[in-house]
Amino acid sequence: MAEATTAISGLDRAAILLLSLGEAHAVEILKHMGPKEVQKLGGAMASLSDVSQEQMDGVLVNLLESVGRHTALAMDSDSYVRTVLIDALGETKAGNVIDRILLGGNAQGLESLKWMEPRAVVELIRNEHPQIIAIVLSYLDGDQAGQILSLLPEEMRVDIMMRIATLDSVQPGALQELNKMLEKQISSAGNIQSASVGGVQQAAELLNFVDATVSSTLMEKMGEVDADLSQLIQDQMFVFENLGEVDDAGIQTLLREVASENLLLAMKGADEEMKEKFFSNMSKRAAEMMRDDLDAKGPVRLSEVEEAQKEIVTIARRLADDGEIMLGGQGGDDFV
């Protein structure tokens, strides 16, 4: 029976499981997930079709086997939660959920920020100490944190980024105070355990989602303050040019997800080597048409090119998170 589910992704297995549980139970499970997980899982549930009884049974059997490996008596509950969630969602997708449950499961104040618009979050935190802002941004997903950073006053950004990059963990007392502050403003409640936040990788991921001009300025100013730290962050960043290190199969998968107009705009700012990387993974006819379109297209704004390249990188990162491609880049195996 397990063989029937080997070709099904962890995300689809989780979607099948929720559909089999029924509406009431599915709702209770989704309540414990963040916006990104809900969106991905909801999309997977909506796109499922022609699920065979064998596949359904296989998903349920795999879950029961996982649960059966543990007893209810004297078991390591943290280990049990990790095993079940990883089996159900896959290691990558279960990561954030596990952290939320085991590290900050009751962080209602912080958790609710993930569901808010970036501008609303900025209004809540802009007058706080830079260290508080750094902790908040480290807790949020990279794309949301990047938007928030871009909306904060320019003179604050370098200080905040330096603090994010040098964060390692936050003591319970500090997190408790932060949550109390947020509770007063967004009517949340809860206790917080200590959690690992921040670090070079977190800073790099955040900068991947920041406007290219803002990111470049930040990196330059951070280099003036701490050149070694700035270089460590830069080494972990993944940008459009790093797609040249993705294997051909990965590029072909990426091309199926990218709109032709966005690819055309992105290629306007690419060097010949990068262009050839994409051309060589298209059909001969498609490559010829793209070359003709590039020659015929007049000058475009640099901001449009950067936006198109950023969107393609975002798609590539999503595909990597889903396990469909392997990203290369300066960060090496950190981008998988």
Write down the pLDDT at residue 230: 80
Write down the pLDDT at residue 110: 72
Write down the pLDDT at residue 35: 72
Report whether 162 contacts 222 (CB < 8 A): yes
Which residues, 6+ apart, have CB-to-CB distance to 293 below 8 Å?
A: 264
**Do 141 and 195 fall into the same domain?**
yes
The backbone torsions φ and ψ at residue 169, rounded to the nearest 5 degrees and listed phi first, read -150, 165
**Do 9 and 95 fall into the same domain?**
yes
Where does residue 194 fall: left (phi above 0), alpha (psi -120 to 50 degrees), or beta otherwise?
beta
Q: Is the dihedral of CA 65, 69, 72, 78 positive or negative?
A: negative
**Tens place of pLDDT for every residue, the chain, 336 residues?**
444 445 677 778 888 877 777 777 777 777 777 776 777 777 777 777 777 777 777 777 676 666 555 444 444 445 655 666 666 666 655 555 555 454 444 445 677 777 778 888 888 888 888 888 888 888 888 888 888 998 898 888 889 998 888 887 777 667 777 777 776 766 543 333 334 556 777 787 777 777 767 777 888 888 888 888 888 787 677 778 888 888 899 999 999 999 888 999 999 888 899 899 999 999 999 999 999 999 888 888 888 888 888 889 888 878 887 788 887 543 333 332
**Do 262 and 300 fall into the same domain?**
yes
Distance CA 269, CA 307 (A): 11
Identity of residue 31: K
Among 212, 236, 260, residue at a domain's last position? 236
Cβ-count burial of 307 within 10 angstroms (0-12 exposed, 13-18 middle, 19+ buried)? middle
**Do 204 and 270 fall into the same domain?**
no
**Do 135 and 84 fall into the same domain?**
no
* Domain of residue 275, CATH code: 1.10.220.30
**Do 208 and 249 fall into the same domain?**
no
106: its two tokens: 């009751």
**Do 251 and 228 fall into the same domain?**
no
The backbone torsions φ and ψ at residue 335, rounded to the nearest 5 degrees and listed phi first, read -105, 75
Which residues, in sequence order, are bridge partners of residue 183? none
Cβ-count burial of 326 within 10 angstroms (0-12 exposed, 13-18 middle, 19+ buried)? middle
**Do 116 and 223 fall into the same domain?**
yes
Distance CA 335, CA 238 (A): 8
**Do 112 and 229 fall into the same domain?**
yes
Residue 279, classed as helix, strand or coil, is: helix
Write down the pLDDT at residue 91: 61
**Do 40 and 60 fall into the same domain?**
yes
Among 206, 236, 266, residue at a domain's last position? 236
Report whether 267 contacts 275 (CB < 8 A): yes
Cβ-count burial of 189 within 10 angstroms (0-12 exposed, 13-18 middle, 19+ buried)? exposed
Which residues, 6+ apart, have CB-to-CB distance to 55 below 8 Å?
A: 4, 5, 8, 16
Write down the pLDDT at residue 81: 55
Residue 42, classed as helix, strand or coil, is: helix
Split into its structural domains, the chain has a count of 3
**Do 95 and 206 fall into the same domain?**
no
Report whether 295 contacts 322 (CB < 8 A): no
Distance CA 159, CA 154 (A): 10
Calculate ∠ Cα 278-307-152, nearest 5°: 145
**Do 190 and 171 fall into the same domain?**
yes
Domain that holds residue 93: 2-103
What is the Cβ-side half-sphere exposure of residue 1, based on CA atoms within 13 angstroms?
14
Write down the pLDDT at residue 83: 65
Among 71, 103, 135, residue at a domain's last position? 103
